[in-house]
């Protein structure tokens, strides 16, 4: 198998997790160091990004950089894992409120 078939381009996201509500999670495309190219975001995306940065520590946790798979099967598996984590965290987060 050739190298070009086995290598995938790695994309990254800057992820902000909701502190009290996992449904408030936000993510934005970025480079491997977490830099978001705001010129590539839509107007709505740019507004959401600036808002997310503003409410870190109040509504959202500090952001983390995470690789995003370009393989559609991996993306589905990742979504399922996120849903499982959110469901598991739900009772814990409700207990804190």
Q: What residues contact residue 70 under an 8 Å CB cut-off, 6+ apart?
A: 8, 9, 10, 11
Does a structural domain hold residue 72? yes
Assess contact for 11 and 67: CB atoms under 8 A. yes
Does a structural domain hold residue 4? no
What is the domain extent for residue 54? Answer: 10-96
Helix residue ranges per DSSP H, the chain: 3-6, 43-54, 72-96
Does a structural domain hold residue 26? yes
Does a structural domain hold residue 25? yes
CA-closest candidate to residue 49, choices 33, 30, 22, 66: 30
Name residue 66's beta-bridge partners: 13
Does a structural domain hold residue 1? no
Does a structural domain hold residue 81? yes
pLDDT in tens, 18-74: 998 888 899 999 999 999 999 999 999 999 999 999 999 999 999 999 999 766 555
> What are the φ/ψ torsions at residue 72 (nearest 5 degrees)?
-60, -30
Does a structural domain hold residue 55? yes
User: Cα separation of 53 and 72, whole Å?
Assistant: 29
Number of domains in the chain: 1
User: Is the pTM above the cut of 0.75?
Assistant: no
Does a structural domain hold residue 38? yes
CA 46: distance to chain centroid?
15
pLDDT greater than 70 at residue 77: no
């Amino acid at each position: 198998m050739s190298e070009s078939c086995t290598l995938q381009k790695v994309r990254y996201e800057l992820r902000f997790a909701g502190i009290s509500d996992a449904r408030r999670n936000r993510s934005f495309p970025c480079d491997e160091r977490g830099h978001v190219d705001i010129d590539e975001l839509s107007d709505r995306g740019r507004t959401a990004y600036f808002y997310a940065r503003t409410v870190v520590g109040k509504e959202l946790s500090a952001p983390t950089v995470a690789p995003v798979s370009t393989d559609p099967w991996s993306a589905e598996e990742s979504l399922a894992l996120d849903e499982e984590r959110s469901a598991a965290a739900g009772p814990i987060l409700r207990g804190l409120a």
